[in-house]
């Protein structure tokens, strides 16, 4: 048997303004809840150009080898297009290669990173990672997005999933939020300025990656944070991308907010009949992105015969759809033993 309790959130509806972009495909997503706030052809698979390098950066960072020195070899011979213009025999840390990859979109850096991490198997690693994090319509064929031969194909939705994942990695956030980087090697000194113009013109931006090929046209991924909410925007084939990204972020921040539904720790259910002998506990926080037209409530399903361990579940509904479920745990209340008269006397 289950004892059901419902907590309702009363939200007064207001009009939410519509918005449009010039992109072929576009998405605005909350990076924590993965709620899609704006969408336009988000599952259309297209060439994505250099925003592919987000995955290359993630794998380089997660290798745990950022401070190892890479000696550049013949792998850069196949590079063309944008680069950081490293040379054979040059010694540079993997960390600085990732800076060159993300700030200047270095195709030569991408080949050096791939060769250093896993050689010819690096692309397989990219595709496996994509599957692991839920990118179901993505195929990588190289570490950079060059598409004159076999390019990289994905969707606005999948790239938002990737950016959301990457944005939770400390080193990634540090790299993509850097406006400029001075690097010295055994052969050269470089000063790299980030190509992401929003870093210099929009206060809430936290990072991103630009991209362009003749086939993919302009592609762009950016993230921004304000008032405890982080959003990601992805646009594919958008000639007005920086303007569209700022417009989408402003739309999200002005019309949505994060609501804390559940807090980790003790859950207070005032019912001495069933739960007087137990402490109820949640092991995780949960918040969700809402706007002023949403109807939300929490439903607690609790066992009428509680035992130690899992004793119920909390379900979060937004617009009559379950968006999250969280287990409820019970532990017996341990009451201090009553002191005997002689114990109290000795203490006195």
Residues tagged active-site:
50, 53, 105
Q: What DSSP character marks residue 139?
A: B
Distance CA 118, CA 120 (A): 6
- First CA to last CA across the chain, in angstroms? 50
Distance CA 24, CA 287 (A): 31
Distance CA 93, CA 160 (A): 28
Distance CA 267, CA 288 (A): 19
b/e code 102-132 from CB counts within 10 Å (16+ = b) = bbbbbbbbbbbbbbbbeeeebbebbbebbee
In 45-87, beta strands by DSSP E: 46-47, 69-71
b/e code 257-279 from CB counts within 10 Å (16+ = b) = ebbebbeeeebebeeeeebeebb
Distance CA 158, CA 137 (A): 7
Which residues fall within 8 angstroms of residue 198, CB to CB, at 6 or more apart? Answer: 205, 208, 222, 224, 242, 245, 246
H/E run at residue 239: none
Write out the two tokens for 65.
């080898």
Sign of CA dihedral 16, 20, 24, 29: negative
Write out the two tokens for 162.
């990737």
Tokens 């379950």 correspond to 322
């Amino acid at each position: 048997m289950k004892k059901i309790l419902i907590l309702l959130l009363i939200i007064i509806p207001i009009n939410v303004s519509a918005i449009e972009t010039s992109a072929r495909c576009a998405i605005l997503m909350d990076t924590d809840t993965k709620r899609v706030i704006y969408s336009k052809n988000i599952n259309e698979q297209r060439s994505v150009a250099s925003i592919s390098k987000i995955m290359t950066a993630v794998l380089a960072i997660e290798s745990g080898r950022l401070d190892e020195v890479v000696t550049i070899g013949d792998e850069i011979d196949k590079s063309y297009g944008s680069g950081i213009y490293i040379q054979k025999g040059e010694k540079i840390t993997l960390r600085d290669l990732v800076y060159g990859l993300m700030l200047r979109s270095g195709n030569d850096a991408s080949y050096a990173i791939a060769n250093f991490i896993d050689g010819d198997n690096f692309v397989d690693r990219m595709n496996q990672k994509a599957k692991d994090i839920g990118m179901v319509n993505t195929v990588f064929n190289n570490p950079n997005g060059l598409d004159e031969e076999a390019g990289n194909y994905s969707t606005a939705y999948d790239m938002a999933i990737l950016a959301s994942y990457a944005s939770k990695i400390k080193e990634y956030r540090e790299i993509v939020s850097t406006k400029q980087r001075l690097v010295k090697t055994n052969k050269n000194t470089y000063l790299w300025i980030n190509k992401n113009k929003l870093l210099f013109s929009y206060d809430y931006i936290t990072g991103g990656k630009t991209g362009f090929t003749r086939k993919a046209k302009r592609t762009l991924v950016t993230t921004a944070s304000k008032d405890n909410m982080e959003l990601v925007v992805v646009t594919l084939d958008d000639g007005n991308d920086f303007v569209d990204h700022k417009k989408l972020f402003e739309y999200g921040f002005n019309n949505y907010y994060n609501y804390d539904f559940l807090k980790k720790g003790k859950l207070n259910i005032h019912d001495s009949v069933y739960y007087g002998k137990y402490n109820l506990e949640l092991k995780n926080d949960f918040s969700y992105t809402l706007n002023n037209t949403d109807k939300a409530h929490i439903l607690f399903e609790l066992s009428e015969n509680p035992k130690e361990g899992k004793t119920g579940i909390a379900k979060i509904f937004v617009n009559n759809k379950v968006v999250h479920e969280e287990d409820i745990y019970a532990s017996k209340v341990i009451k201090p033993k009553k002191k005997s008269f002689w114990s109290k006397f000795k203490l006195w």
